[in-house]
Amino acid sequence: MIQDTIKDILHANGGFDAAPALSRSGLTKQELRSLADEGNIEAAILLLIGFKSPSYKFWKEDFEDEDTHEMVKIDRCMPLEGTMFEEDPGEVADLTSVVLKDLANQSDEELKVWQNALSGVINVTPIIEKLVDAGDVDAMWLLGDRYAYAEPMDKENALKYYDMALAADGDRERYDQAMEWLNYSPLEHPEDLAEDFDPREAVIMISGHPLYMDQIEYMFEDLTKSHGLPYLETDYAIPLKFVFEAIGVDWVDNTGNLIRYTRHSEPVLTLDLECNPKVDEALVEAFQKAYPLLTVEVVDNSPGE
């Protein structure tokens, strides 16, 4: 029966191999859509996977067993360009809602399969939270990691779930490693941020008393005159090394540039950066230490082209 096939696909390697199993099966969007419309949640999950995952090419490859030197054939696969299914407007949101509404009806083991299969397809945080509510320690660690490694980091929630996990299983070594990451300050490790130049755009907003805004704007004007580099046709970029040093922080070369600063009518200054990951956070921390009465925050960042 097709329902059994769908279950086997979803559970392939505990859900981790659901995408290649779906590609190999040859099931169509129409077949899955029909079953999903009839209330088959597993078909809905496979549709979501098909919307976000590529098709795969499969083949067998000869392999020599190191112990017996016997030639055996192993299955190999590789992803192709594009996705398995083409989604219609609103289809992913509707199916995601259907799947998440059914979490309460599933066993913990089934939710783990869903989590594995849907990771990278939809936001699986609600599934992990359901496992946490059931006392699953692995889910506690995982949810802590998701908040700790989010962009930007959500330190409060990360600490909440790490504390919960420590209380449940007492893994002090894992907890201490997590705390080391939570308390890591990019400002204190500039050499880590300059290993490879991998620029992305970021915007920092500074707000507060106009007198402080004037001081910072004058500082940027002086830096532009002394260290500005031609940028595009009309602008000048300031290497961030000199911005850090101007506010009292020793810094390194090759971490990025301040490409534009804009004073707004209200007491707000925005800084447009092109910088390595985490450098924007380090600059925010540096400004907060130099100007503790100002509000300084990253308001936007994105990978470079």
Q: Render pLDDT for 17-28 as a digit per residue (tens, 0 to 9).
A: 999 999 999 999
The residues, any chain, with a CB within 8 Å of residue 153's CB and separated by 6 or more, are: 147, 182
d(CA 11, CA 7): 6
Provide the 10 A C-beta neighbour count for residue 62. 8
**What are the φ/ψ torsions at residue 54 (nearest 5 degrees)?**
-80, 165
3-state secondary structure (DSSP) of residue 170 = coil
Q: Measured between alpha carbons, how far apart are the two ends of the chain, in Å?
A: 47
Q: Render pLDDT for 140-185 as a digit per residue (tens, 0 to 9).
A: 999 999 999 887 789 999 999 999 999 998 899 999 999 998 998 8
Per CATH, the number for 192-303 is 3.30.70
Q: What is the pTM of this model?
A: 0.69
Helices (H) and strands (E) in the chain, counts: 13, 8
Q: Where in the chain is the domain with CATH 3.30.70?
A: 192-303
